[in-house]
Structures are given as C-alpha cells and as structure tokens.
C-alpha cells in the first residue's frame, strides 16, 4: 500500500495565457467603452511586436482597473480584468512579487465575476474537490465564459505558486472546472480549455500514473477546434507530450509545422509569434534532450 514514487509536481502551464479580453457589451458599461475595450484587445492580439505589447499593455491594465472600480458588478469587465492581469503576468512579468500580486488580482476578479453569475461558486477557493464537483454538476453552457475565466486565472495563479503545496493541491479543482467547460462547450475560445487540459494531462509520465495519451487527445482537439490557427497548441503538444514520451518524430514535425506556418492570423498573431520563437528554441535544444 505504499508508493515510493515521490514526484515533485511539475507544472508547465501556458507561457502566454490567452490574451482574450472578452469585454462584450454590458448594460452597466457604455457602448463606447465596450467598443474601445474590444478594439484594444483586438489590437493586442493582432500585434506581432511583443515589446510593444509588453510596454503598452500596463496602461490598459490601469484603465481596466479604473473601469472595474466604477462598475464593480460588471462581470464582463471583471473577466476582462482577470484575463488581462493573468495573461500579462504569465507572459511578461519575471519579478516574483509582481507576478504574485498580478495573478492574485487576476484570480480575485475571476472569483468576483463567478460569484455574480453562479452563487454556489462564491468563495470558490474554499470549496473542497467534492463541493466544487457538486456545484459544477448543474451548470449550463451559459456559465462557460465565467468558468473559463475562473479556470484559466486559477491555473495562472497556481503556476506562479508552484512551490506552494496548498496552491498545487488546488490543481485538481482547476482541472474539474476545465473539464466542465469542455463538457458544456468545448469550442469556447477556439477550444482553449483543451489546451490547458493537454498541459495538465501531460504532467505525470505513465510510470507515475500519468496518462499522456489523454493529454495528447486534448492537444489535438485544441489544434482542430482552432482550425490549426493556434500555433501555441502545437508547441505545447511538442514540449509537453512529445518530450514526455520521448517521441522525437512528433516533436520535430509539430515544431517544424509551427515555424513553416504564417504567424499572422486574425486573433492569433501575438500568440503565434511567441509560438514560433518557442518552436525554434525547442528545436535547437532537441539534440540535447533526445
């Protein structure tokens, strides 16, 4: 009854959490504000200059904070604030304290948004796995946007606290939320929930009880649901699955496909630019690894 296997949990989450700033039109915020926010998020996603985004996004972060402060019950603004803080922290912030603060803000906004829409998810961080499972069992597809924000913000929050075992212990709850999203509407945000589940499904090797094939299935779904436009899905597939199972053919094929693809695709340009950079780096280190 005793296992001697004692793996450190390795969490290789999404480097660039999707910069999806789903502002939408809320009755609380003006149409003009919503239009501006949508235009800004599109401009960010379609930019291929990471430095410009890194330098320019903080102003947008402050603006979103200001908007939330004047409309604290706006679930769409809260979700936008959560996504932007989480994505910026994951992609550009290396200072540990700043990263902790930003991911905390990201999760706090997501929790507020969830609490507005789904009362049983108020204080979601305090829920046990069984309690959360029960709360999610009755959710409908209309809950997917808020669940997506919550799941991805929580994943980023854990990633920034990967040496905190209490935080790591909440990973199972994040997985539960992502599985609920996939069950309700797997195509939401072009299948990005599958991308997260792919990473989570390839944390442990089979020798330690992992089932990487399930992770591979999620990666493939993320690729298919984005119609192959989301190049980061292939990079994560290569890095997390192909390296885990030591399959160099799949690794190199996926990464070469990423490099050969046109990064400029509406809604994906920024992420795809990062994906191509990562693909080159992974290919360069492949001889060392395999």
Partner 1 sequence: MRSLFSPTFLSIVFIALLSSANTSLAATFKIATLSPDGSAWMVKMRAAGKDIEAQTNGRVKFKFYPGGVMGSDSAVIRKMKIGQLHGGALTGGALAKAAPDTQIYNLPFMFKSFAEVDYVRERMDDKIIQSFADAGYTVFGLAEGGFAYMLANRSITDFDTLKQGKIWAPDNDILVQRSMESFELGTIPLALGDVLPSLQTGMVDTVATSPIGAIALQWHTQVTHITDMPLLYFYGILALNNKAYKKVSDDDKVIVSHVMNSAFKAIDKINRQDNIDAFEALQALGIQRVEMNPADKTMMQGQADALAQTMLNNKQFSQPIFDEIQTLLTEFRGAAE
State which residue, 66 or 172, has the beta carbon closest to partner 1.
Answer: 172
Q: How far is the CB of 4 from partner 1 (least distance, A)?
A: 5
Q: How far is the CB of 194 from partner 1 (least distance, A)?
A: 19
Q: How far is the CB of 46 from partner 1 (least distance, A)?
A: 32
Please name which of 13, 50, 74 lies closest in space to residue 236, comparing C-alpha atoms.
13
State which residue, 2 or 260, has the beta carbon closest to partner 1.
Answer: 2
Q: How far is the CB of 1 from partner 1 (least distance, A)?
A: 5
State which residue, 140 or 165, has the beta carbon closest to partner 1.
Answer: 165
Alpha-carbon span 65 to 128, nearest angstrom = 30
State which residue, 10 or 59, has the beta carbon closest to partner 1.
Answer: 10
Alpha-carbon span 87 to 18, nearest angstrom = 6
State which residue, 56 or 205, has the beta carbon closest to partner 1.
Answer: 205
State which residue, 66 or 214, has the beta carbon closest to partner 1.
Answer: 214
Cβ–Cβ < 8 Å for 240, 198: yes
State which residue, 9 or 54, has the beta carbon closest to partner 1.
Answer: 9
Q: How far is the CB of 158 from partner 1 (least distance, A)?
A: 12
- Using alpha carbons only, what angle is made at residue 146 by residues 31 and 87, rounded to the nearest 5 degrees? 85
Question: What is the rounded (10 degree) CA torsion for 86, 88, 93, 98?
Answer: -50
Alpha-carbon span 40 to 36, nearest angstrom = 6
- Using alpha carbons only, what angle is made at residue 137 by residues 132 and 139, rounded to the nearest 5 degrees? 100
CA 19 centroid distance within chain:
9
Cβ–Cβ < 8 Å for 90, 156: yes
State which residue, 44 or 244, has the beta carbon closest to partner 1.
Answer: 244
Q: How far is the CB of 209 from partner 1 (least distance, A)?
A: 4
What are 33's two structure tokens?
């504000």
Q: How far is the CB of 57 from partner 1 (least distance, A)?
A: 28
Footprint on this chain of partner 1 (rule: CB under 8 A)? 1-10, 12, 128-130, 164-166, 168-172, 203-211, 243-246
Please name which of 151, 138, 149 lies closest in space to residue 178, comparing C-alpha atoms.
151
Alpha-carbon span 87 to 146, nearest angstrom = 16
What are 167's two structure tokens?
């935080």
What are 246's two structure tokens?
């030591």
Q: How far is the CB of 244 from partner 1 (least distance, A)?
A: 6
């Amino acid at each position: 009854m005793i296992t001697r296997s004692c793996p450190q949990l390795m969490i290789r989450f999404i480097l660039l959490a999707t910069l999806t700033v789903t502002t939408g039109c809320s009755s609380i915020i003006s149409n003009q504000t919503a239009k501006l926010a949508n235009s800004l998020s599109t401009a960010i996603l379609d930019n291929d200059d990471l430095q410009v985004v890194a330098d320019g996004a903080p102003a947008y972060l402050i603006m979103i904070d200001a908007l939330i402060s004047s409309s604290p019950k706006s679930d769409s603004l809260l979700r936008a604030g959560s996504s932007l803080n989480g994505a910026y922290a994951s992609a550009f912030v290396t200072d540990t304290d700043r990263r902790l603060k930003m991911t905390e803000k990201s999760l706090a906004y997501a929790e507020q948004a969830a609490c507005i829409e789904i009362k049983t998810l108020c204080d979601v961080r305090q829920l046990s796995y069984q309690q959360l499972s029960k709360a999610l069992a009755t959710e409908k597809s209309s809950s997917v946007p808020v669940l997506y924000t919550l799941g991805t913000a929580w994943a980023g929050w854990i990633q920034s606290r990967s040496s905190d075992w209490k935080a790591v212990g909440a990973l199972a709850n994040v997985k539960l939320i992502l599985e609920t999203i996939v069950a309700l509407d797997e195509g939401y945000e072009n299948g990005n929930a599958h991308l997260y589940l792919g990473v989570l499904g390839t944390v442990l090797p089979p020798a330690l009880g992992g089932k990487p094939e399930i992770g591979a299935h999620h990666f493939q779904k993320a690729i298919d649901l984005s119609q192959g436009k989301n190049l980061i899905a292939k990079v994560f597939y290569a890095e997390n699955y192909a390296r885990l199972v030591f399959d160099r053919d799949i690794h190199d094929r996926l990464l070469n496909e990423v490099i050969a693809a046109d990064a400029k695709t509406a809604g994906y340009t920024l992420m795809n630019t990062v994906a191509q950079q990562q693909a080159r780096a992974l290919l360069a280190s492949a001889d060392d690894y395999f």
